[in-house]
Amino acid sequence: MIVPMKRYAFLVYHADYQHFLEELRNLGVLDVVQRTREYGSKTMDKLLLQKQIDDTVKLLRRRKVEEKTASTVLSDGMQVVELVKTLTLEEEQTHQQLIALNKEIANLQPWGDFSKETLQKLREAGLRISFHISSIKKYNPAWENVYNIGIVNTISPNVYFIIARENDDEIGIDTEEIRIPERTLSELYSKRDQLNERLSAISQELDGLTSAGISPLLHTQEALQNETEFEKVLANTRLQADDSVMLLEGFVPITREADLVRFCEEREILYVSDKPSSDDKVPVLLQNNKFSKLFEPISKLFSLPAYAELDLTPFFAPFFMMFFGFCLGDAGYGLLVLLGATLYKRKAKPAFRPYLSLAQYLGLATIIFGIISGTFFGINLIEARIGFLDSVRSYFFDSQKMFYLALIVGGIQIIFGMFVKVYNILRQQGFAYALSTIGWLILILGMIARFALIHFEKLPADEIIVMYLILGISGVLILLLNDPKANVFVRMGKGVWDVYGTVTGIFGDLLSYIRLFALGISSAILGLVINSIGMDMLGIPILGPVLFVLFLTVGHLANILISSLGSIVHPMRLTFVEFYKNAGFTGGGKEYKPFAEKAKN
């Protein structure tokens, strides 16, 4: 459910305003009305610093170094940011130098580790030494009769050689002359070792900053956030009475309203309160029971509901749980999910435990649907020759029954969504605007009831009076009472269009639920294939049992991971597309974010 909000306006003398805001922030209940997004240069600078700190924290945490108390105390987060920035820049530059150096080494390796002193002595003796490269195909041994050639190396497809001569005359052979290297291989190897040592040192320094620097970074970020939030509130304050009175407006949940009223009365703050108007952008605070609250992260992935509409989380939560179990559909897999989440929940951090509680519910749903479909770790219990199952085998659902079950469950959710839509319209617009949807419910449920009565021989097979009565009532509501503000001809046009859209939409939505059956079958088939291959491995001499256990373990774990992904994605699709559409969900709500001091780590 959405917690009702009250709108508050405060009038405070300008000299007392700073102190008022500090105390209001400590109370932490008011979501300030945002009137501007244009903030001063100081505020923008602080937001930029927060972004730099956030990027630095992410960079350090990617190093996977455990945070601990270090000998070097770093209290200033911006100091850590600058140190990390300097070190990462140097690390990048060193990497680039190393890449260039390795390329230089690769080019020089064919020439070997020559002596620069020897080359210098040859120059002093009047000889000119030049380095040449020629392809093996082009190299002509006859050149050696004309020039003083010394072959240094032959590495396909090239020949590396030097020519020594006493003058600067042009060489009349087709070769590539290269510039004499300025550094020897020994020097390059030494330089490479120095660069690698520096990279290692930089890495150690960054590791040290990871263990000692994240905490001051977070504290500095919290301080900046508190300052910027304070400045944002000031920017959203309106000046009254020749700038002597400050007007601040915001929203507070009725569950915290008493605290705010007490705060104002104790400090003699002038305030006015009222219910939000339809034009207000009211923040949304969700408040659900323990079960539905576990599904709030899923609903927030799409959008928060608008303040005036229903929170659909409690309505889709049981269906989502059911859909997950339907898609994964293996009692053995569900048992593993349930046990794994239960065991890990004991050691997990408090913030992560709700996700594990959600996993427990999803595992339980998988066990239930695995029992319904008769699947346990890929074993088809309907066909398996297990004696004690003979008495209950007839209760298992085969693939055809699971197909029909998927359609029935989908139909139930669609119809339930339409009931929710009616209630939503009644709350927001009134009874007259809900008549068209009520007409569709009468048509669908009436026809289902008529079919059931005929099937159980409570009505004759050729009965038409009830059918015409259903069609007549629903037709009037759908075609003539769909828009109270429009004239009768516009209503009829809208009604005809609504008939086309709703009929095609419902059939399309209903067919979408076949994916539940398809995913459940694919998971079971993969499990069956894994078991079949594993059984074949048992025939391998000596290693057969070991390979059997390893393959089943790895195969079923992989199947659980792959199938679980689909079992989350596709129920989300059915929820956000089929159910939300039929429930008339609009969304676009703004999350409730009270003006409060950030909690210290």
- DSSP characters over 430-464: -GGGGHHHHHHHHHHHHHHHHHHHHHTTSS-TT--
* Confidence at residue 71, expressed as pLDDT on a 0 to 100 scale: 45
Does residue 319 share a domain with residue 172? Answer: no
Does residue 315 share a domain with residue 175? Answer: no
* Confidence at residue 461, expressed as pLDDT on a 0 to 100 scale: 83
pLDDT tens, residue by residue, 293-327:
999 999 988 889 988 888 999 999 999 999 999 99
**How many CB atoms lie under 10 A from the CB of residue 3?**
17
- Residue 502 tokens read as 């709703």
* Confidence at residue 331, expressed as pLDDT on a 0 to 100 scale: 92
Distance CA 294, CA 286 (A): 12
Asked if 325 and 363 count as a contact pair (C-beta separation under 8 A), the reply is no
**Residues in the chain where the model's pLDDT stays below 50:** 69-71, 601
Distance CA 426, CA 334 (A): 40
Would residue 422 count as lying in a domain?
A: yes
Q: Which of 138, 158, 183 is the last residue of a domain?
A: 183
* Confidence at residue 67, expressed as pLDDT on a 0 to 100 scale: 57
- Residue 384 tokens read as 């398996």
Q: What is the full DSSP assignment across 473-516?
A: HHHHHHHHSS-TTS-HHHHHHHHHHHHHHHHHHHHHHHHHTHHH
Dihedral sign for Cα 422, 427, 428, 434, please.
Answer: positive
* Confidence at residue 486, expressed as pLDDT on a 0 to 100 scale: 81
Would residue 401 count as lying in a domain?
A: yes
Q: What is the pTM of this model?
A: 0.76
What is residue 250's three-state secondary structure?
A: strand
Question: What are φ and ψ of residue 238, in 5° steps?
Answer: -100, 140
Full residue range of the structural domain in which residue 404 is found: 310-582
Distance CA 229, CA 235 (A): 10
* β-strand pairing of 158-165 with 128-135: antiparallel
Would residue 406 count as lying in a domain?
A: yes
Distance CA 7, CA 31 (A): 9
Q: Which helix (H) or strand (E) holds 591?
A: strand 590-591
Asked if 417 and 502 count as a contact pair (C-beta separation under 8 A), the reply is no
* β-strand pairing of 270-274 with 379-380: unpaired
Would residue 72 count as lying in a domain?
A: no
Q: Which of 153, 183, 213 is the last residue of a domain?
A: 183
Identity at 449, one-letter amino acid code: A
Distance CA 28, CA 260 (A): 9
Would residue 473 count as lying in a domain?
A: yes
Question: What are φ and ψ of residue 285, in 5° steps?
Answer: -120, 120
Strand pairing partners for 165?
Answer: 128
What is residue 285's three-state secondary structure?
A: coil
Q: How far apart are the first and last CA of the chain?
A: 31
Which residue, chain included where needed, has tokens 């520096």?
A: 198
pLDDT tens, residue by residue, 516-566:
889 888 988 898 999 899 888 888 888 888 998 999 999 999 999 999 999
Would residue 35 count as lying in a domain?
A: no
- Bond from prior residue into 157 cis (ω within 30 degrees of 0): yes
**3-class DSSP string for 128-157:** EEEEEEEECCCCCCCHHHHCEEEEEEEECC
* Confidence at residue 73, expressed as pLDDT on a 0 to 100 scale: 56
State how far the alpha carbon of 89 is from the alpha carbons of 59, 153, 209, 439, 572, in Å.
13, 39, 15, 68, 43
Would residue 512 count as lying in a domain?
A: yes
Domain count within the chain: 2
DSSP 596: -
Q: Which of 183, 199, 229 is the last residue of a domain?
A: 183
